[in-house]
Structure 1
Amino acid sequence: MDFHCMDYRASVAQGPALSQVNADALVLVLTPEQSVTGDPALDSLIKDAVSAGDLTLKAGRTLYVHRPNGAKVTRVLLVVSGDDSAKSFKAAVLKGVAALKDLGVAHMAVAGALGLNLSCEHAHSLVLAVAEGTYVFRQTKPSAPKPVALKKVTVLCGPDELSAAKSALVRARGVAEGISLARELGNLPGNYCTPTHLANEARQIGKNFKHVKVEVLDRPALEKLKMGSFLSVTNGSAQPPKFIILRYQGASAAQAPVVLVGKGITFDTGGISLKPGAGMDEMKYDMGGAASVLGTFRAIAELQPKVNVVGLIPTCENMPSGTATKPGDVVTSMSGQTIEILNTDAEGRLILCDALTYAERFKPAVVVDIATLTGACVVALGHQHSGLFSSDDDLAQALLRAGQQAQDTAWRMPMDEEYGESLKSNFADLANVGGRDGGAITAAVFLSKFAKAYRWAHLDIAGSAWKSGAAKGGTGRPVGLLTQFILGQAEAGQDALKPQVVKAVGKTKAAPARKAAARRVA
């Protein structure tokens, strides 16, 4: 799937050159403190609009002007950003795209007022905003709106910012491709996006990019690997399970890889522990972790960072039937640990734990699993941040920083060993659920039992992978965070990727104040 035939450019234009830009429309981003451009025609327009009350310098306000006096550009859209940050700039550009997309604009130029220097972060935000604002799901909806006319976007900046802006546009375009792929896969209904479909999508990435190698394991291979926990989830489904392995080699074979593990439940009924009917249609998004791994591979295949990455995607359906796994059943995981399945709707951890064991063979630098794992994480964090769990402070900080840089934030949650007490079982090494209290944490502690051989982190994206309500649809998160993390690891060099001895799961040694600061997301 290719979503962005968009032509992104950076060009030098300041002061009086702004209103003379050769484009169908100029989006001019102002702030409450910065509303002067240095262009006489535009500054006169802004002054008059503010004086007349047509434009208020408050975040989110817009004013469209057709054929303004003294300007060569036909359309000018004034958009007020909350401040000069890249995050606010993205929101402003998104407003601009929404206002112009029905006007037949094929070439949009974007500039900022004096003092709003468009850095590489702003250029990155611009691409993400355009990609988000122009995305429309069409695969199963013939009546969907036609594609927007917009084909070219130019960011106007100063000569000192030109080189960085061009590089940022290239990088952001790769990330946007990955985000759109993850969104599209998530939005597909469960009868389209099956485990086989995900496997074929992975193969397509491997076909399109020579640096990516793809292997898909079927049930006989999973049985040979003794992935009893994974296979127990798929027992009730007619759809065959798949275990997708992607390898990207951008560095020497001697360099330990980053391993991404994505939960790929293409539809989750809850199994015998059946979910309530209301809202169950959204369980097509339960493969959000798998989608984010595929989207990240799409991005890094385009950007080709000097790092090695492995993607592991266990994927199947969780369905009720006469052959489905029952509450109380005990299964043996690939690690040899036995699991009492008290609730078949806690299935994501059952497929992930075998994938985490499989990850050991790659001798990874770090392993990050990504899963729409628990409703408890949504209760705890809402839809703003993904939940981040790790007993490795350095790894957690690297992921938090990547999320802040990518505007795809996470929030660190506790991993105290006492949370594992509720996972004890009289009939197996551990149970697959504890009580209701701290459900997102006990789920993460369960996964940690299978991730002791390497540095590990878990991202619970149940609240961030999709939106409900009138805006229902996949978000493509956390492709931005993951891609930024991998790019950061590549830029840091081999020393940053050396495997380290992982600490035991438990309380970190950080003082309470330092821990609070570490977990705070700007």
Structure 2
Amino acid sequence: MEVSTKALVPEKQKTACLVVGVFADKDPGPQANRLNDATDGQLGRILARGDLEARAGASLLLSGLNGVAAERVLLVSMGKGEEFNDKAYRNALSATGRFLASLKADEAVVALADIAVPNRDLAWHTRTAAQLIADAAYKYDVPRAKKEEETRGVARVVLGFALKPTADATRGAAQGLALANGMSLTRTLGNLPANVCTPTYLGETAKKLGKAHKSVKVEVFDKAGIEKIGMGSFLSVAQGSVQPPRFIVLKYNGGKAKTKPVVLVGKGVTFDTGGISLKPGEGMDEMKYDMCGAASVLGTFQAVAELDLPINLVGLIPATENMPSGIATKPGDVVTSLSGQTIEILNTDAEGRLILCDALTYAERFDPACVVDIATLTGACIIALGHHTSGLLANDDELARELQDTGVSAGDRAWQLPLFDEYQEQLKSNFADMANIGGRPAGTITAACFLARYTKKYKWAHLDVAGTAWKSGAEKGATGRPVPLLFNFILQRATH
């Protein structure tokens, strides 16, 4: 999809579809008032009938309005003006995006981006608009015997403004489109079946990213290379699978040479059976999504490289399957991590932390400004926060606040949970430095406590996205989260 910005007179814009925001108050807003004048009050009479619901995101399609050059006019409710906020704006844009994705037309004009949202600048408006409209157009290419012949969805979207859009507005639109492109990569990797998206496939995807963007350097370690590094904990998870593991290192150097990088670490378990501690069969197909942390790192790199952001960024992805076999790690086994600390594996289904701990130790060599790991780590996080909010734990409260505030701005929220020392007691082991689980109580917190033992040399935050990285049921599929949070976090650091 192409997204551009320009000044225009709504009623004179020749386009397949003109999208106009309408407030559910006595004053429907400037664009609606203009169209009402252009139609000699026809629009006002339509609204007076109550055909457009008041809730933000409701819509009404009109065709052949006298005095309007557009073939169609989509009225989108912004809700009540006094209640208008980020959520209402996003609801309106998401509804717009869904409609445009179903429209059989080349171009549409969206006159929503200059409707003022409290406490948000113009770049935020256009970034959010471009992201949500482009993301709504995402389609997974399902392998079917017979392909759908008809293609729908607009190819070009113009964000229209009453006045000439500023450089910030244009820049914001480009940022939003890049973000949507990164989310698209993340969603596709998550949606691919595990017999396609293997650790090797993730490595090849990273290499393609490096070939497409000269600013991205990629190194992929095979099993022998991982053994040479000394990642014993990571390899203990990989040893039960015939699929060879990969350790993927991405480097983006867009900042000054001596500036410390931000390091992103993504859990890349391309399929998780639970290993010897086998999961229940129901719903196990969704364990192909256990690599969404890795996919979010690749998607974030895609967006950052597309924009040539002035920042240094490192991505670390330990990728493997977790399978049961005659040579798989067993409960009670003790392994040695890259840090030298030993781990008693009480449950082989707590494997994500076993691969992440070695990657977090590896991160030390980059002398990072901060490290953020992203993982579909614990079912306990879903119980605590549901599917709306990602879990956030950190050894630095300032970093945690930065991520939490960024999540609010990006519409991709996270919530901080405690990381008190008292929880570390649950990881005690009689046979190693620590156990890999701490029992049922506070499962998300004790998982982060385990990781915290490997992050003492830098500022670190952990995002548990088990409840937000994909949806189940009728809408089953990867969401692309938390790429919006990560991208906006990096964008803020790059531009301030």
* TM-score for both structures, normalised by structure 2: 0.94
Superposition map of 1:115-514 within 5 A: 116=116, 119-141=122-144, 143=146, 145=148, 146-159=150-163, 161-492=165-496
Which residue pairs with 1:61 in the alignment?
Answer: 58
Q: Is the partner of 2:41 in helix, strand or coil?
A: helix
Which deviates more from structure 2 when the two are superposed, residues 120-129 or residues 250-259?
120-129
Q: Which deviations, in whole Å up to 9, do the C-alpha atoms of 1:160-184 show, x marking residues without a partner?
A: 6443221111111111111110000
Quote the Cα distance in structure 2 between the aligned partners of 1:451 and 1:133: 37
Alignment CA distance shift 1:456-1:112 (3 Å): closer
Q: Is the partner of 1:311 in helix, strand or coil?
A: strand
State the Cα distance separating 1:255 from its structure 2 match.
1.1
Which residue pairs with 1:508 in the alignment?
Answer: none
Alignment CA distance shift 1:352-1:76 (3 Å): same
The alignment status of 1:29 with 2:24, answered yes or no, reads no
Q: Give, as a single letter, the amino acid of the residue that structure 2 aligns with 1:121.
A: W
State the Cα distance separating 1:391 from its structure 2 match.
2.3
Alignment CA distance shift 1:101-1:221 (3 Å): closer
State the Cα distance separating 1:113 from its structure 2 match.
10
Alignment CA distance shift 1:341-1:433 (3 Å): same
Are the aligned partners of 1:86 and 1:125 in contact in 2 as well (CA < 8 Å)?
no
Which deviates more from structure 2 when the two are superposed, residues 443-452 or residues 66-75?
66-75
Are the aligned partners of 1:79 and 1:92 in contact in 2 as well (CA < 8 Å)?
yes
State the Cα distance separating 1:321 from its structure 2 match.
0.5
Quote the Cα distance in structure 1 between the aligned partners of 2:279 and 2:398: 38
Are the aligned partners of 1:30 and 1:113 in contact in 2 as well (CA < 8 Å)?
no
Alignment CA distance shift 1:450-1:155 (3 Å): same
The alignment status of 1:75 with 2:72, answered yes or no, reads yes
State the Cα distance separating 1:142 from its structure 2 match.
5.4
Q: Give, as a single letter, the amino acid of the residue that structure 2 aligns with 1:58.
A: R
Are the aligned partners of 1:243 and 1:314 in contact in 2 as well (CA < 8 Å)?
yes
The number of equivalent residue pairs is 484
Q: Which deviations, in whole Å up to 9, do the C-alpha atoms of 1:221-256 show, x marking residues without a partner?
A: 111122110000011100000000000001222111
Q: Give, as a single letter, the amino acid of the residue that structure 2 aligns with 1:123.
A: T
Q: Give, as a single letter, the amino acid of the residue that structure 2 aligns with 1:193.
A: C
Which residue pairs with 1:85 in the alignment?
Answer: 85
Which residue pairs with 2:108 in the alignment?
Answer: 108
Which residue pairs with 2:98 in the alignment?
Answer: 98
Alignment CA distance shift 1:75-1:384 (3 Å): same
Are the aligned partners of 1:124 and 1:172 in contact in 2 as well (CA < 8 Å)?
yes
State the Cα distance separating 1:120 from its structure 2 match.
2.5
Q: Which deviations, in whole Å up to 9, do the C-alpha atoms of 1:75-97 show, x marking residues without a partner?
A: 00111023543442232122223
Q: Is the partner of 1:446 in helix, strand or coil?
A: helix
Which deviates more from structure 2 when the two are superposed, residues 167-176 or residues 258-267?
167-176
Quote the Cα distance in structure 2 between the aligned partners of 1:101 and 1:305: 29
Which deviates more from structure 2 when the two are superposed, residues 36-45 or residues 251-260?
36-45
The alignment status of 1:19 with 2:23, answered yes or no, reads no
Quote the Cα distance in structure 1 between the aligned partners of 2:343 and 2:59: 57
Quote the Cα distance in structure 1 between the aligned partners of 2:40 and 2:157: 23
Q: Which deviations, in whole Å up to 9, do the C-alpha atoms of 1:95-146 show, x marking residues without a partner?
A: 2233344441211111149964793222112212222221111153455655
Quote the Cα distance in structure 2 between the aligned partners of 1:44 and 1:134: 34
Are the aligned partners of 2:57 and 2:88 in contact in 1 as well (CA < 8 Å)?
no
Which residue pairs with 1:52 in the alignment?
Answer: 49
Are the aligned partners of 2:113 and 2:129 in contact in 1 as well (CA < 8 Å)?
no
Structure 1 spans left out of the alignment, 5+ residues:
1-5, 493-522
Are the aligned partners of 1:330 and 1:339 in contact in 2 as well (CA < 8 Å)?
yes
Quote the Cα distance in structure 1 between the aligned partners of 2:114 and 2:225: 62
Quote the Cα distance in structure 2 between the aligned partners of 1:7 and 1:100: 13
Are the aligned partners of 2:392 and 2:400 in contact in 1 as well (CA < 8 Å)?
yes
Quote the Cα distance in structure 2 between the aligned partners of 1:304 and 1:97: 26
Root mean square deviation of aligned Cα = 1.8
Which deviates more from structure 2 when the two are superposed, residues 245-254 or residues 107-116?
107-116
Q: Is the partner of 1:210 in helix, strand or coil?
A: coil
Which residue pairs with 1:502 in the alignment?
Answer: none
State the Cα distance separating 1:305 from its structure 2 match.
1.5
Q: Which deviations, in whole Å up to 9, do the C-alpha atoms of 1:347-379 show, x marking residues without a partner?
A: 000000000111111111111110000000011
State the Cα distance separating 1:459 from its structure 2 match.
0.5
Quote the Cα distance in structure 2 between the aligned partners of 1:404 and 1:105: 34
Quote the Cα distance in structure 2 between the aligned partners of 1:131 and 1:160: 23
Which deviates more from structure 2 when the two are superposed, residues 142-151 or residues 86-95?
142-151
Q: Which deviations, in whole Å up to 9, do the C-alpha atoms of 1:12-59 show, x marking residues without a partner?
A: 12xxx2111121101111222351333113582331112223223332
> Percent same amino acid at aligned positions?
52
Quote the Cα distance in structure 1 between the aligned partners of 2:146 and 2:426: 50
Q: Which deviations, in whole Å up to 9, do the C-alpha atoms of 1:266-302 show, x marking residues without a partner?
A: 0000000000011100000000110000001001101
Q: Is the partner of 1:265 in helix, strand or coil?
A: strand
Superposition map of 1:5-16 within 5 A: 6-13=1-8
Q: Give, as a single letter, the amino acid of the residue that structure 2 aligns with 1:274.
A: L
Quote the Cα distance in structure 2 between the aligned partners of 1:403 and 1:478: 9
